Amino acid sequence: MKVRNDYLPDLVRIVAMTDETVDLRTLRLVFEDPSLRDRFSFLPGQFGQYSVFGVGEAVFTIASSPTRKGYIECSFKLMGKVTTALRDLEVGDLIGFRGPYGNGFPVETLKGRDLLIIGGGVGMAPLKSLIEFCLDNRRDFGEVTILNGARTVADLLYKKEMEEWGQQEGVRVIQTVDPGGETPEWRGKVGLIPNVLNELAPKPDGKFVVVCGPPIMIKFSLQVLDRLGFSPDRVITTMENKMKCGLGKCGRCNIGPVYVCKDGPVFTAADLARLPRDY
Amino acid sequence: MKIWTLQKKRVGDWMAALRAAGKEVLAPCEADGLLRFRPIDDPSAIAVRPGPCPFPFKEWLFPPHQVLFSYQFEGGKVNLREEEVLVNDQVGLFLRPCDAAAIKILDTVFLSDPPDGFYQLRRSHLTIVTLGCRQAVPSCFCPAVGLSPTSLEGSDLFLWEEDDRFLVYGVSEKGDRLVQVSPDLFEPGEGPEPDQLPSPLPFMERKEPLTNVGQKLQGLFESDLWQEVGRTCLGCGICAYLCPTCHCFDIVDESDAYSGIRCRNWDCCAFPLFTLHASGHNPRPDQPSRYRQRVLHKFAYFLQTFQQNMCVGCGRCSLFCPVGMDIYQIVLQLTGRCLV
Amino acid sequence: MAAVRTDSERTEKGWEPKLIAFVCNWCTYAGADAAGTRRMLYSPCVRIIRFPCTGRIDPHFIVRAFEQGADGVLVSGCHPGDCHYVSGNLLARRRFAIFKALMDFLGLEPERLSFSWVSATEAGKWVEVVNSRVEALRKLGPARVPWGTLSGPPPSLNGRSVAPMPQEPLSQVKPDDYQAVESQLRQLAEGLLATGQVKAVLGYGKGSLQQATPIVITNATEANQLIFNEHCVQNLTVYLTSPSFRSLRPLGVVVKACDSKSLVGLLQEDQVKREDFRAIAVSCPGVKVNGRWADKCLSCDQRIGPIADHIVGSSEPKSTAGADPRDWEIQTIEKWAPAERWNFWMNQFSRCIRCYACRAVCPLCYCQPCIADKNRPQWIPTSPHLKGNVSWNLFRALHLAGRCIGCDECTRVCPVGIRLDLINRRLSLEVAKRFGYEPGKDPSVPPPLATYRPNDPGEFIL
Ligand SMILES: Cc1cc2nc3c(=O)[nH]c(=O)nc-3n(C[C@H](O)[C@H](O)[C@H](O)COP(=O)(O)OP(=O)(O)OC[C@H]3O[C@@H](n4cnc5c(N)ncnc54)[C@H](O)[C@@H]3O)c2cc1C
Ligand code: SF4
Ligand code: SF4
Ligand code: SF4
Ligand code: SF4
Ligand code: SF4
Ligand code: FES
- C356 close to ligand 6 (CB < 6 Angstrom): yes
- C386 close to ligand 6 (CB < 6 Angstrom): no
Chain A contact set for C376 (CB, 8 A): 80-81, 84
User: How near does any CA of chain B get to the CA of C62, in Å?
Assistant: 17
Give domain status of residue C456, yes or no. Answer: no
C126 close to C31: Cβ distance less than 8 angstroms: yes
| Interatomic CA distance for residues C454 and C82, integer angstroms | 12
Chain A contact set for C383 (CB, 8 A): none
- A7 close to ligand 7 (CB < 6 Angstrom): no
Contact B236 C245 (CB under 8 A): no
Ligand 7 centroid to residue A265 C-alpha, Å: 11
| pLDDT confidence of residue C196 | 96
| C195 and C102 co-located in one domain | no
Give domain status of residue C208, yes or no. Answer: yes
| C429 and C341 co-located in one domain | yes
| pLDDT confidence of residue A1 | 79
Query: If we measure between CA atoms, which residue out of B306, B311, B305 comes closest to residue B331?
Result: B311
Angle CA B219–B224–B226, to nearest 5? 80
Chain A contact set for B87 (CB, 8 A): 1
* Amino acid identity, position A217: M
| pLDDT confidence of residue C155 | 78
pLDDT band of residue C2 (cuts 50, 70, 90) is very low
| pLDDT confidence of residue C128 | 94
Per DSSP (E only), the strands in B83-225 are 89-95, 126-131, 157-162, 165-170, 186-188
Interface TM-score (ipTM) > 0.90: yes
Residue of B110, B241, B268 with the most ligand 4 atoms within 8 Å of its CB, for mutation: B268
| pLDDT confidence of residue C145 | 64
| C298 and C179 co-located in one domain | yes
What is the average pLDDT value for chain A, to the nearest integer? Answer: 95
Atom of ligand 6 nearest to the CA of C416: 3
| Interatomic CA distance for residues B239 and C77, integer angstroms | 47
Give domain status of residue C415, yes or no. Answer: yes
Give domain status of residue C152, yes or no. Answer: no
Q: Is B22 exposed, middle or buried (0-12, 13-18, 19+ CB in 10 A)?
A: exposed
Ligand 7 centroid to residue C175 C-alpha, Å: 52
**The domain boundary residue, chosen from C312, C338, C359:** C312
pLDDT band of residue C175 (cuts 50, 70, 90) is confident
C362 close to C400: Cβ distance less than 8 angstroms: yes
Angle CA A191–A132–A139, to nearest 5? 110
Domain, as residue range, for C248: 170-312
**Domain count across chain C:** 3
Give domain status of residue C431, yes or no. Answer: yes
Contact B278 A252 (CB under 8 A): no
> Quick one: average pLDDT of C80-91?
87
Peptide bond into C175 cis (omega under 30): no
| pLDDT confidence of residue C4 | 36
| pLDDT confidence of residue C165 | 58
pLDDT single digits (tens) C434-461:
999 999 999 999 999 989 888 888 888 8
291-350 in chain C: CB under 8 A from chain B: 347
pLDDT single digits (tens) B59-79:
999 999 999 999 999 988 999
CA atoms within 13 A of residue C174's CA, in its CB half-sphere: 3
CA distances from C52 to B82, B92, B330, C117, C275 (A): 43, 57, 55, 15, 41
Query: If we measure between CA atoms, which residue out of A3, A115, A95 comes closest to residue A50?
Result: A95
Ligand 1 centroid to residue A224 C-alpha, Å: 28
Smallest CA–CA distance from A84 into chain C, residue: C376
pLDDT for C177 beyond 50 = yes
pLDDT for A273 beyond 80 = yes
pLDDT for C354 beyond 90 = yes
C382 near B CB under 8 A: yes
pLDDT band of residue C416 (cuts 50, 70, 90) is very high
Ligand 5 centroid to residue C370 C-alpha, Å: 5
> Quick one: average pLDDT of A121-141?
95
| pLDDT confidence of residue C148 | 64
Give domain status of residue C458, yes or no. Answer: no
Along chain B (340 residues), what's the average pLDDT of each consecutive run of 10 residues?
94 95 95 89 92 96 96 92 91 97 97 96 97 95 96 97 95 96 94 92 92 91 92 96 98 93 97 93 95 96 93 96 94 78
pLDDT band of residue C5 (cuts 50, 70, 90) is very low
Chain B contact set for C207 (CB, 8 A): 324, 326
| C117 and C195 co-located in one domain | no
| pLDDT confidence of residue B338 | 62
Pairing of strands A24-31, A72-77: antiparallel
| C340 and C422 co-located in one domain | yes
| C179 and C302 co-located in one domain | yes
pLDDT single digits (tens) A186-222:
999 999 999 999 999 999 988 999 999 998 999 999 9
Query: If we measure between CA atoms, which residue out of A240, A248, A182, A233 comes closest to residue A213?
Result: A240
Torsion of CA A79, A84, A90, A92, to 10 degrees: -90
Domains belonging to chain A, first-starting first, are: 10-100 (2.40.30.10), 107-238 (3.40.50.80)
**The domain boundary residue, chosen from C257, C284, C312:** C312
The counts of H helices and E strands in chain B are 11, 12
B280 close to C27: Cβ distance less than 8 angstroms: no
> Quick one: average pLDDT of C260-288?
95
Ligand 5 centroid to residue C369 C-alpha, Å: 8
Ligand 3 centroid to residue B113 C-alpha, Å: 25
Secondary structure in 3-state letters for C61-126: HHHHHHHCCCCEEEEEECCCCCCCCCCHHHHHHHHHHHHHHHHHHHCCCHHHEEEEECCCCCHHHH
| C284 and C197 co-located in one domain | yes
Chain A contact set for C3 (CB, 8 A): none
- C359 close to ligand 5 (CB < 6 Angstrom): yes
389-418 in chain C: CB under 8 A from chain B: 409, 412-413, 415-417
A54 near C CB under 8 A: no
User: Containing H/E element for A16?
Assistant: strand A10-21
Contact A278 B293 (CB under 8 A): yes
Query: If we measure between CA atoms, which residue out of C63, C23, C26, C72 comes closest to residue C45?
Result: C72
> DSSP states of A120-168 as a string?
EGGGHHHHHHHHHHHHHTGGG---EEEEEEESSGGG---HHHHHHHHHS
Q: What does the DSSP 8-state code read for residue A2?
A: B
| pLDDT confidence of residue C1 | 32
Ligand 3: list residues with CB < 6 Å: B 242-245, 298, 311-317, 327
CATH of the domain at C122: 3.40.50
Ligand 7 centroid to residue B309 C-alpha, Å: 20
Query: If we measure between CA atoms, which residue out of A105, A34, C209 comes closest to residue B340?
Result: C209
| pLDDT confidence of residue C143 | 87
| Interatomic CA distance for residues B199 and B222, integer angstroms | 41
| Interatomic CA distance for residues A53 and B74, integer angstroms | 12
- Three-class DSSP category at C42: coil
| pLDDT confidence of residue C88 | 87
Closest partner residue to C214 among B54, B232, B266, by Cβ?
B232
Give domain status of residue C159, yes or no. Answer: no
B109 near A CB under 8 A: yes
Question: Which residue's C-alpha comes closest to atom 7 of ligand 6?
Answer: C352
pLDDT for C147 beyond 80 = no
**The domain boundary residue, chosen from C140, C162, C184:** C140
Q: Neighbouring chains of B at 3+ CB pairs within 8 Å?
A: A, C
Q: What does the DSSP 8-state code read for residue B113?
A: S
| pLDDT confidence of residue C6 | 44
Can you say whether the dihedral through the CA atoms of B112, B114, B120, B124 is positive or negative? Answer: positive
Pairing of strands C213-217, C200-205: antiparallel
Closest partner residue to C351 among B34, B67, B254, by Cβ?
B34
| pLDDT confidence of residue C251 | 98
C210 near A CB under 8 A: no
Atom of ligand 7 nearest to the CA of A246: 1
Chain A contact set for C375 (CB, 8 A): 80-81
Closest partner residue to A251 among B78, B221, B248, by Cβ?
B248
| C308 and C329 co-located in one domain | no
User: Containing H/E element for C429?
Assistant: helix C420-435
Percent of all residues in chain A with a pLDDT value above 90, rounded to a whole number: 95
User: How near does any CA of chain A get to the CA of C1, in Å?
Assistant: 14
Contact C234 B315 (CB under 8 A): no
B279 near A CB under 8 A: yes
| C203 and C280 co-located in one domain | yes
- Total residues belonging to chain B: 340
| C308 and C334 co-located in one domain | no
Query: If we measure between CA atoms, which residue out of B181, B182, B156, B180 comes closest to residue B169?
Result: B156
